[in-house]
Amino acid sequence: MTRLGDSVQRASALLGQDLSADSTVRRLLEETGSRRSMELTDLSAKEQAELIASRAVDVLPSVTALAERIEAARAGGRGLHVKLGIDPTAVDVHLGHAVPIIALSRFQRMGHDVTLIIGDITAKIGDPSGRSTERPPLTDEDIARNLAGYRDQVRPFFDFEHVRFRHNSEWLGAVALPRLIGILAQVPASALLQREDFRTRLEGGHGLTMSELIYPVAMAIDSAEIDADVELGGVDQLLNMQMGRRVMEIYGLAPQLVVTMPLIEGTDGSGAKMSKSKGNYIALNAPAEDVFGKVMSVPDRLMEPYLRAWTEWTDGEIGLVAGRVADGSLHPMDLKRVLAGEVVGALYGVDAAMAAREGFAAQFSRQRFSEVAELPEVDLAAHGGEGVAAVLTRVLRFTPSASAARRLAKQNGLRLVLEPAGGGEQRTAVLSEEAALRPLAEVVAEQLADAPEGTGVYLKAGRRLALVRGAAPPAPTA
């Protein structure tokens, strides 16, 4: 049996046990976490290709072709030459950016050779993928700063000691005009203009620059210059990577295979991809307790795609826990705590994951919110006339925008919790999207209409909680 197979056997036994027990969860996190550095060279070519494909959106031209390329490389006494292009356009990196890096780590641990292409030339052009306007170009200083931050933040997922770094200025800076024209002469303009983002911009009356049209070709030249066997990237890069296959043929080389990775949905459950601009992301440099809490706040339906994206669990293991949730033998909250532990464990280690798990339980699993120290507060006297969504956004800063607050209400994640003084049972009122637009004081007054004197009022948005000050039940009538 392979090393991975042995680990799966041990983990599957744990996954059938009580996953609310800290001792079981610790053993599970230690087992699955050890796979992040596990050598996978003992997998057959077919098993390697299938493992890569299990987390990919596309493997082109086919999974069989990938297995055959691995087998041929082995026969030649080498590994595949796998390429990932990095366009260093931002300093802050979130978990969505880690997805291709995790897949690249698997290639690395399978014994293949990895090259990271630093797009210091193409970053100055700006990748137009998915954009409605031209991306501002970067300076050399921007690129150097962003690259340093990128490496530091994704380091938990990748071994940078066994990778080649190349800057595409090494060859693109020397491409003479006759050579570039020779390549472009063999690339139909229709192949460039078929991009949906280009068509949308043209139909909207917005222009395209020649640099944007040339960007996919420049990126493709990278693949040809290093003679890549496989290019890995997000699914939004598919057309760029397919151009790599075309340009490699122009160079007289065997075209690379293409592996595309999914774009991960953000934590707010709105369907939008994880993005800093939308506020629905988990930063790789966030504190362990914040990472744990943000994972715990996601809708249950995101547990499976998140397990697939950021853990080393196999499809069989994910299917096992999904079956337990379906038959009621595993509570979704217990599985989500395991998922949160996996993510924190990848970034900070198992001890930090277990500490975050304990901290979350201590803060958010109490029977009484009045026992929680240092809750944020909102005063009805000052803000009761403002809409609930506005209070969440501008006063408490629980949500990045009023529209995000309304989306949370749509997902039944916005609530008022009434807690009677002296130990009575809590009462929870789920606030509708309509209620999120009404003044906070009105909404509170309605819920307090039949509440006993001394009842505490708490506003809960996802996992975040605030005390509502100045809320009092009506005085009893004579």
Mean pLDDT of 454-459: 88
Residues 6+ apart with CB under 8 A from 257: 59, 60, 61, 65, 66, 69, 229, 230, 231
Q: Among 58-62, 189-193, 291-295, 430-434, where is mean pLDDT lowest?
A: 189-193
Q: Among 41-50, 316-325, 440-449, where is mean pLDDT lowest?
A: 440-449
Q: Among 66-75, 155-164, 190-199, 231-240, where is mean pLDDT lowest?
A: 190-199
Does residue 477 sit within a domain?
A: no
Residues 233 and 92 in one domain: yes
Which residues span the domain enclosing 3? 1-36+267-365
∠ CA 300-303-309, nearest 5°, is: 155
Can you give the pLDDT at residue 368?
58
pLDDT at 191 over 60: yes
Burial of 437 (0-12, 13-18, 19+ CB in 10 A): middle
This prediction's pTM:
0.73
Can you give the pLDDT at residue 421?
77
pLDDT above 70 covers a percentage of the chain that reads: 91
Domain count, the chain: 3
Q: What is the DSSP letter of 393?
A: I
pLDDT at 104 over 80: yes
Does residue 454 sit within a domain?
A: yes
Tokens of 226: 């290093």
Residues 324 and 410 in one domain: no
Can you give the pLDDT at residue 146?
76
Q: Among 57-61, 138-142, 313-317, where is mean pLDDT lowest?
A: 138-142
Does residue 461 sit within a domain?
A: yes
Q: What CATH number is given to the structural domain containing 448?
A: 3.10.290.10
pLDDT at 126 over 60: no
pLDDT at 27 over 70: yes
Q: What CATH number is given to the structural domain containing 313?
A: 1.10.240.10
Residues 257 and 272 in one domain: no
Tokens of 182: 């020779």
Could you report the per-residue pLDDT of 370-397, keeping only the tens digit for each? 555 578 899 999 999 999 999 999 999 8
Residues 256 and 193 in one domain: yes
Can you give the pLDDT at residue 132?
44
Can you give the pLDDT at residue 461?
86
Of 128, 133, 127, 135, give the one whose Cα is nearest residue 207. Answer: 133
Q: Among 73-77, 242-246, 402-406, 459-463, where is mean pLDDT lowest?
A: 459-463
Can you give the pLDDT at residue 462?
75
- Rounded to an integer, what distance in angstroms lies between the CA atom of residue 443 and that of residue 292? 31
pLDDT at 364 over 70: no
Residues 255 and 274 in one domain: no
Residues 218 and 245 in one domain: yes
- Rounded to an integer, what distance in angstroms lies between the CA atom of residue 470 and that of residue 416? 15
> Other C-beta atoms within 10 Å of 295: how many?
26
Q: What is the DSSP letter of 286?
A: S
pLDDT at 425 over 90: no
Does residue 90 sit within a domain?
A: yes
Can you give the pLDDT at residue 423?
65
Decide which of 261, 294, 326 is a domain's last residue: 261
Query: Rounded to a whole number, what is the distance in angstroms from the first to the last CA of the chain?
Result: 80
**Mean pLDDT across the chain:** 87
Residues 110 and 194 in one domain: yes
Burial of 228 (0-12, 13-18, 19+ CB in 10 A): buried
Does residue 46 sit within a domain?
A: no
Residues 104 and 212 in one domain: yes
Residues 183 and 319 in one domain: no
> Other C-beta atoms within 10 Å of 186: how many?
10
pLDDT above 90 covers a percentage of the chain that reads: 55
Does residue 398 sit within a domain?
A: yes
Residue 222 confidence class, pLDDT cut points 50, 70, 90: very high
Q: Where are the alpha helices (DSSP H) in 365-400?
A: 380-383, 388-390
